Structure 1
Amino acid sequence: MTAASTSAVRQARAITRICRLAVGCWIAAAGAASAAALAVLPLPIGLTVTVLIAALCVWPLLRFHRIVPPLSPTVAPTEGGYGELMLAVRQVTAALGVSEPVGLELSPDCDAWLEPRPEGPVLVIGAPFLWWLRVSELRGLLAPVLAGMDAAHDTLIGRARKLVRRLDIAEVHGFPPWPRTVIVAVAEACRIRAEAMERAIGAAAAERARIVEPASRVYAHEQAGLVAVGWDRLLTRLAMPAWRRGQAPETLNAALVAALTELGQRDRVGVGLADRLTERPACDLLDEPGDVDRAVSALAPLVYEGQRIDQQLPWSRYVATVAEPALRAEAADAPDHPLIAKVRALLEADARPHGSGELAAGLRAVVQCGLVDLRLACWDVDWLDGVILRDRAGHVVPVDELVHGLLDNADFAALRDWIAHAGGLRA
């Protein structure tokens, strides 16, 4: 056993000792109360009170041990649906000399972890990784996770993890008749040791995982960071506006690939990223990648917004269903400001009722809707920037530059010049 593994076991023992001490103090307090009742009350009444105190003592202990931490929302495989992916997992576990997870599931989260279940540890993989990482990179990324299988099977560590999760739930929701201050104190003491335990487990797993895909491992972690940033941007700029309108865009993972590919084509940070697309992506290990992408995309609003959305939205209908109605409503609600009135007049926009709102956002919406109404531009979806406008030649309209010129200097020249230029373009 390595020093890191020994440290993890020591921290797990500390967690169980803290919980035993807390339970012992609770039982001792109940015993003292029972003794006092028997000493000062008539015997029949004292016995009744003692029974009540015993019940009050045992009841929260039973409830605490029956707390079942909620399972992570995941997409489980259909029969044989993850066959080749599970084979890749088996190759990693064989190389590490650890047991296989009892199952494999996918999550919309950009993470990978072993989740405890009654039947044993289940490997949960963030689906965005599958769509961008190459197969060798995925093996390198999963190696440290799977190297933690021994810890996942360790009875003492498993008990400590379960106690910490139960304490977290008790702290959040309260657990009468236990005083909240006591629960918070015990949970914090255990949490500090749990963090040290997980660091030790992670260090031991990372050391053990060095033998798997050594050439790809460092690059895989760099790509995983890129995936997380791109995923956050995609959700913020495109998915969340749709979710708030009761629509769930399909194939978010495919959109992520499009976004990161676009980054590789136009951004210095992404130089060389597009070349990776010649290698086999990890999603090819799935039998039906498209179906899995749709299932994970449908689960994403539950994970990130706490709600299920049944209405699935193809990207081809995104602009008409989500973007344009939202921007036209924002343009209609633009504040009653002289600058916006002049822009409306310049764009010959239809008269719309307008009320309160943020000037910059309202002005941007007025400009966008006005240019579309003039048929000088059309809506489009950019996987990195969200909803944009393209002129008749297919070029991106510099809406931000036009709006900043209006806001900063009340400069209408740039907008007039662009309108004159766009009017001369042919589709």
Structure 2
Amino acid sequence: MAEAFLFAPEAESYVEGLRCFPLRDIGSSRWIVQHDQLEKLNLQAALSAKRQEDEFIKESLVSHEKMSILIYELICIEVWKSRIFPLLLKSRVEPKQTFPCYIVLYHEATLISLLETVLYHEDVVQACDDVLLDLAEYCSSRIITLASRHNDGECFYDENERASKEPISGIDELKRQYKQIWFQVTVKAVSILRYIISNLSSLPVSIATRLLNTHDIICCLVELVDKPPWTHQTKDGKIVRYTEAKWCPVHERETMAVTKTEAQVWLALHHLLMDPECQRKYNYSDHRKAIVLKLRGKLNEVLLDQIPVLRDLQRYLEHLAVLDIPPPREELILEQVPEIREKLIQDNKGKWKEIATLHGKMILEPDADHVRMMAERFANTFSLDALEELACDVPKCALCGQPATKRCSRCRNEWYCKRECQVKHWSKHKRACNIAAEVK
């Protein structure tokens, strides 16, 4: 069996040492150390879940009451991306290396991947206590933005980027990475929101109220079913689908197969529409009813065979179609509101440009020692054999996407199907290869 990323005592020490970093410390040496430890915790948690072994990462996070720190760090990096990163792009400073900034951008993906793995368990959801409202707010905002951007015509599959052989500037590369990570994170937010929704009956009532009536998450999820942003038809008529954190071509016989993300959306809708307490709280209008009834056209036999529990939802929708909409209920509710994001914004009000200037020097123009330290940690974390076990598919060529059998002998990170593809891809791969080779 492949080796583990972490043994339990080492993981315990990492979890015990987790702390919240101020916004201005993002990208610092101490922050990089914690990011590296979180990445190892994330990889080990995924490996334990895949092997169906003792999930000691989950147990440690709960016993040491560190779930609130993970959620704080997630929202903190989201605030950094929305307030600081645009200022860095506007500075027009051409980064010496995109690697340090990429690590900061990817931090959000690391945190949400770890949360997705551990929040599958009901006891972890309940252990989040008051900060679960902040996580629900984060996930619902991400999903609403995804549905809005997709309805406005934005496509998250970039055919031009895959076809281009020309090198691009560092700033353009960071913009591309930002968009890729944003979509990856938002897809994982769908799973986390489903885990929260499945436990609404044991959670504070304000979470259900905000999801149902403040954000109208039901209509938002229906839009994702009606126009899925994780499925795209290319210019040559082929279907590609986002699954397991990458875009994959879909064979004709698999077009009706339900992906994990699509299943999460359907299960969330099933709970929200079928749970008696959610039905009582949700104020239907003619507009909301019309949107929800769009689901009837999607509930075909192929889908019902894959998710049989949706047959109950099908019967409910038939009943809803002939039901008169009752007048909205007026209830006095003392509603709890999320606090983490608002506090971060208030604490750093008027300091955005100052922090952006500091981070511009630290992230876009780092000194050689800082880059080397980051590269060494990155190389050590991702050099373990256990990574091979986490990979679900055979390696794919970095250029054309075909099954690959050859590996870059210099850095051992990229795969290729033939030498011609390796030569053509060198202009893009050169920078990362040089860093990895220097570390080794």
> TM-score normalized by structure 1?
0.20
Q: Which has the higher strand share?
A: 1
- Which has the greater radius of gyration? 1
TM-score by length of 2: 0.19
